Structure 1
Amino acid sequence: MQTKSPALAVMTFTLLTAPLAHAQGEPTKSASVDLNGDGKPESISLTWDEPKDEFVLKAGNSTIRGGTDGNAPDGFVVVDLDSSDKRKELVVSTGQTDYDKQQHLYAFDGKTLKSIGNVPALTEAKGNGIILSDSWQGFWNRRDKYALDKKGNIIEVPQELYAVGVEATVKQSFPLARNRTDKSAVATLAQGSKIQVLAAAPLGPPGEYLYLVKSATGLLGWATAKDLTGKTEGLPLAG
């Protein structure tokens, strides 16, 4: 993993490891908690199956397995995603970098432990059934919204654009396209001018985007990641 500048590293670490709202304690390998709201605590444990490279999560008499990146999870955390009900959820964190971290979420209905979804990070979970999740995209944090559906599963709430909000200085002139499909230039950025990267539009392949940029003259247009990272300076890039 590449190393970020000290200030940026602190910012990113804070976003991705902030204490969970409505979470109970630090990661643990065992606990006794009422997960389904019936007033009777379940015995919960997390163990590591090294030959299969899987963690084994148990609640009551139910067991579920999950894959990892080869590293045993530190433990599980109990969270309350929806404070309007009596239920609690379990979170197992896997991954070692900003790019491969995943939070695996589970619910127990009194008989069966089931997966209800994964998110990159639980950046904000205030007990209102909504999760805000940040994931690092090279020079900006992508914030995704997830929500509990009527069946208690976590679903992503799609966004057409993602807020970026970083500034840079043009070191080599390049054009801004009129829109995402028309590459005709609406503006040509002057060397030494300041720009604002306002938003990112996902392309087909995961992790690829076009960026909405505001020029120093107040014009809006679209730029590629290649132009931004290769022809500007000042972006908070890792490395």
Structure 2
Amino acid sequence: MTTKAPVLTAMTLTLLTAPLARAQDAQEPAKSASADLNGDGKPEAISLEWDEKKDQFVLKAGGATVRGDTSGNEPIGVTVVDLDSGDKRKELAVHTGETDYDKQARLYAFDGKALKALGSVPALTEAKGNGIILSDSWQGFWNRRDKFALDAKAGKVSEVPQELYAVGVEATVKQSFPLARSRTDKAAVAMLAQGSRIQVLAAAPASKKGGDYLYLVKSSTGLLGWATAKDLQEKTEGLPFAG
């Protein structure tokens, strides 16, 4: 499916304002804490332990206990988060993994009797109490931002799918290469000139299985087309590879 030109023009004006830095959690994960989780005015004692033999973490809050698998990753700690400031409750996030490729924040709610799993996000970057979680993960030279939403009635957190991810970085072409008309039409809409500046506006998964990306690029002449990750990595310079 080919994207209409007005949409792409609007993206040119907006996507370069995409977040480039990864935000950090305001609260550092710890192995123990105390907080009123169910809104009864009484704080619950919270603890997180690691059962190495079973490759599981053990999360306790009040008199409730829950176990979780971590694929061999010992948990870093637990934080108290407020996913919905409209209620009096707080939630718990168990953090595992140390890189952008294995980070997970597993979320739990406490109703006064039991801990219930709400789901997980790759990294808990931002939760301001509006039922929305923003999750950042570094993709080599750009920051992928995913959105998750809390369904209070269903008691779960689910991803809000995006067709494109904002990138917003610039580079210089060191070897000429073409931009494709669309993600499915490989015919060239532009041939990037050596030494010209380009803007990488957005990324889209190259396939439904995930993995690599295709990138929406604006040429120095104002044309928009799609480039492969390989072309950007091998035929440009100045991309902010870090993280």
TM-score (norm 1): 0.87
Deviations 1:145-172, CA, capped at 9 Å, x for gaps:
1111132311111111110001111111
Which letter maps to 1:19?
A: D
Matched pairs, number: 223
Which segments of 5 or more consecutive residues in structure 2 lack a partner in the other structure? 1-18
Partner of 1:8: none
Are 1:218 and 2:227 matched, yes or no? no
Q: Decide which of 220, 224, 234 is 1:230's aligned counterpart.
A: 234
Distance in 1, Cα, partners of 2:84 & 2:167 = 29
Q: Decide which of 73, 76, 88 is 1:74's aligned counterpart.
A: 76
Partner of 1:191: 194
Which letter maps to 1:205?
A: K
Distance in 1, Cα, partners of 2:142 & 2:127 = 21
Deviates more, 1:84-93 or 1:112-121: 112-121
Distance in 2, Cα, partners of 1:188 & 1:214 = 11
- Preserved CA contact (<8 Å) 2:77 2:96: no
Which segments of 5 or more consecutive residues in structure 1 lack a partner in the other structure? 1-10
Q: Decide which of 100, 103, 107 is 2:102's aligned counterpart.
A: 100
Deviations 1:115-158, CA, capped at 9 Å, x for gaps:
11111222221111111111111110001111111323111111
* Alpha-carbon distance, 1:79 to partner: 1.0
Which letter maps to 1:116?
A: L
* Partner SS for 2:233: helix
Distance 1:220 1:127, change over 3 A: same
Q: Decide which of 192, 205, 210 is 1:206's aligned counterpart.
A: 210
- After TM superposition, the structure 1 = structure 2 runs for residues 62-211 of structure 1, keeping only pairs within 5 Å, are 62-68=64-70, 70-149=72-151, 150-202=153-205, 203-211=207-215
Which letter maps to 1:83?
A: S
TM-score (norm 2): 0.85
Partner of 2:16: none
Give the % identical residues: 77
Partner of 1:27: 29
Which letter maps to 1:201?
A: A
Partner of 1:15: 22
C-alpha RMSD of matched pairs (Å): 1.9
Distance in 2, Cα, partners of 1:176 & 1:31 = 53
